[in-house]
Amino acid sequence: MRIERKTWWRYGVFMVSIIVTFIILLTSIVNKKYDLKVGDIAPVDFRANVDLVDEVTTKALIEDAVASVQNQYTQELEVRRNALKESNDFFNGIINSRNPMVSLDEIATVLSERGTYGISEDGYFALLSIDNSDLRYALNTINNGINKIYETPLEEDDESKITRSKTEMTDIVDSFSFNEAAKNAIKQFVVTLVKPNYFYDEEATARLKEEAENSITPVLIKKNQTIVKEGDPVNANQLEILSELGYLSESGFNALPYSGLVVAVLVIHLIIVFYLKRFYKAIYEDTKKIALIFLLMNLALALARAMVIISPFIVPYTFLPMLLTILVKKRVGQSLALYSAVFLSIVTGFNVQVLLLLMLTSILSVIFINKVEERNDILKSSFYISVVTFVVSLSLGFLLSNSVMDSIRNSLFAASGVILSGILVIGFLPLIENTFNVVTEIKLLELANPNHPLLKRLQMEAPGTYHHSIMVGNLAEAAAEELHANSILLRVAAYYHDIGKLSRPQFFKENQIGSKNPHDEISPNLSTLIIINHVKIGLEMAEKAKLPQEIKDLIAQHHGTTLVKYFYLTMKNNAEDPDSVKEEDYRYPGPKPKTREAGIMMLADSVEAAVRSISDPTQGKVEAMVYKIFKDKLEDGQLDECDITFSDVSKIRKNFLKTFSSIYHERIEYPEDKRKKPTVRRKQ
């Protein structure tokens, strides 16, 4: 599929804008590099350019928190029960093993052979020699000792406590009044009863350590927070932070912020393109306007980048929305200003307060710059917006900060940014108007100045045409306001629509007051050429005077392809062969009106000239003439190519009649005073 040349130009504008925007924003995130080591003196105040986690400090806090977590143990209740059971079984086994039919030696041998606790035959013999009551006493005492030991946790990895507990049990045995052999046997047994009842729980310990680690909030270095002050030595932790922020020469390349910036620039540009293509296709297809829009956006970014050096609150808040509203379209100015606020927020370091003010001033700009008739209106609007900005900024400052002075200072900076934006708009507006040949209301009103060379010539050389142009302007402006068309453009264009008549003003009826009609002495076809040619000459004069294209279009289209009926019929009636007189030779070359403004201009021009020709104008005659002109234009298809509906035509006709009624209303004829005598002057 073949792509048109203007489409390639449009793509080129998009790409250039993306590159320029990226370069401007890149200067906001790139830092100057320094060669520093631990112990070096900081040459400047180093501040964080983004929010950053202090990894070293955070890691130290996590390690401390994890180290503070004690090992977790799980209690085994069976250990105590088993110890008591073994104690009971041991002593009851000795008591119950006595048998009068068997000697103590034989019983001791049997018990020793079991080898359960490593007690010798002599040991068992000594125990069998003790009375049952003493053994039961020993049993109760040892059980009490076991209960006491297990009142506190006996952890498996606490060898010292286990050893102390065994010593406590042997000390209990030493308190018995038994012989040494019996005591040693009991000691051998009781030390086997002391076992840990708390065992290390690896899973619970790991869980608590993880909770401790998660409970630590990362130490955040906020944007613009001072890392190290000028003149202070740089420590290892600060050096690592400076390296992460990209201040050091040996800092590695961090592609993440650059990737994010590329994506942001691309996405916002695509959103703007999609918005224009979807809702304002005429603007999207106009390469010059697309170039103007992206030029202004990048110009606003460049100005913001320069101004933010003083303070992030001094940015050209209303520069872009005001210029786009004046030069392109009101809603385009508001929408694109909101989109570009993302870029401006990057320039200002993502300051929330500034971002809110950018959104607010974008809306206020469209509200106050509704109709600009002179350049002072821009300053007035900027003043009103600055007052609102100051109040809102101050209130936001009180919400976000406890410092009253900082809030007042930032609010004054913000208000100054709005005023400065207005001054910049006034300064750049004429340059942009001339470079891109954009018609603004201000430029149109300057062209409406009667002292303009072309208008002065009309007044002096063709006063009838000048008066006709003024009347056409009044009619067209009133009708345009009714249809919400560009009324100022129509009024000013009406002043210039017949400047081509300056070449031969005497050939046009409105300038023939008290003089002979030169058309009486030439042929109808030559008269037609002279009449039709005033459009071509008017375009040449407009080009030479560098009038805006919109006015030149209205000059070219205000007659469309209308038939010069008077000379056509005259020629046809006087011709020997009427069929040889071709109608197309007596028509204006066109083109037909392409816009509502051009359609209104054609109707106003035709109606004013026709009504002026009525010898004794009355309301009925005026209405009939207006109706006839409208009917002729519609039947001739002159309004087929402009977006004027039948409803619009009806509104225009009613508006014209209303205007004519104020011009041709009946006036009271004042009577003469018949009693008044003529005065006779005395001769001196």
Residue 339 near residue 272, CB atoms below 8 Å: yes
What are residue 266's DSSP bridge partners? none
Q: Return the SS3 of 200.
A: strand
Is the whole model's pTM more than 0.85, yes or no? no
CA torsion angle 435 441 442 445 (round to 10): 120
Distance CA(354)–CA(349), nearest Å, equals: 9
Residue 591 near residue 535, CB atoms below 8 Å: no
Question: What are the b/e assignments for 176-190, b being 16+ CB within 10 Å?
Answer: bebeebbbbbbbbbb
Q: Which amino acid is at 258?
A: Y
Cβ-based burial of 402 (10 A; exposed 0-12, middle 13-18, buried ≥19):
exposed
| pLDDT value of position 32 | 63
Q: Which residue has the higher pLDDT, 349 or 287?
A: 287
**H and E: helices and strands count for the chain:** 28, 6
Distance CA(543)–CA(200), nearest Å, equals: 97
pLDDT, tens only, 332-378? 888 888 888 889 888 887 888 998 999 999 889 888 887 777 778 89
* Choice among 80-89, 235-244, 376-385, 523-532 with the minimum mean pLDDT: 235-244
The first and second tokens of residue 549, run together, are 């294209």
Question: What are the b/e assignments for 93-118, b being 16+ CB within 10 Å?
Answer: ebbebeeeeeebeebbeebbeeeebe
* Choice among 436-450, 544-558, 591-605, 636-650 with the minimum mean pLDDT: 436-450
> Would you list the DSSP string of 371-396?
---STHHHHHHHHHHHHHHHHHHHHH
Report the CATH fold assignment for 450-663. Answer: Hypothetical protein af1432 (1.10.3210)
Q: Which residue has the higher pLDDT, 434 or 17?
A: 17
Q: Cα separations (Å) of 50 from 13, 187, 222, 346, 410?
A: 32, 71, 7, 11, 21
Residue 684: which pLDDT band, with cuts at 50, 70 and 90? Answer: very low
Q: Where exactly does CATH 1.10.1760 map onto the chain?
A: 256-438
Residue 414 near residue 393, CB atoms below 8 Å: yes
Give the list of residues 6+ apart from residue 300 with CB closer than 8 angstroms, or none: 316, 319, 320, 340, 344
What are residue 75's DSSP bridge partners? 198
Residue 252: which pLDDT band, with cuts at 50, 70 and 90? Answer: low
What is the C-alpha end-to-end distance of the chain, expressed in Å? Answer: 100
* Choice among 218-227, 255-264, 269-278, 286-295 with the minimum mean pLDDT: 218-227
Q: Where exactly does CATH 1.10.3210 map onto the chain?
A: 450-663
Taking residues 465-491, report their average pLDDT.
93
Mean of all residue pLDDT scores within the chain: 87
Question: What are the b/e assignments for 50-83, b being 16+ CB within 10 Å?
Answer: eebebeeeeeebbeebeeebeebbeebeebbeeb
* Choice among 47-51, 478-482, 637-641 with the minimum mean pLDDT: 47-51
pLDDT, tens only, 381-427? 999 999 999 999 999 998 887 788 989 999 999 999 999 999 999 99
Residue 3: which pLDDT band, with cuts at 50, 70 and 90? Answer: low
* Percent of the chain surpassing pLDDT 90: 44
Place of tokens 């224009």: 276
Residue 13: which pLDDT band, with cuts at 50, 70 and 90? Answer: very high
Distance CA(379)–CA(364), nearest Å, equals: 14
CATH second-level architecture of 256-438? Answer: Orthogonal Bundle (1.10)
| pLDDT value of position 124 | 86
Distance CA(513)–CA(52), nearest Å, equals: 85
Residue 664: which pLDDT band, with cuts at 50, 70 and 90? Answer: low
pLDDT, tens only, 566-583? 888 888 888 878 888 888
Asked if the bond preceding 591 is cis, omega within 30° of 0, the reply is yes
Residue 605 near residue 562, CB atoms below 8 Å: no
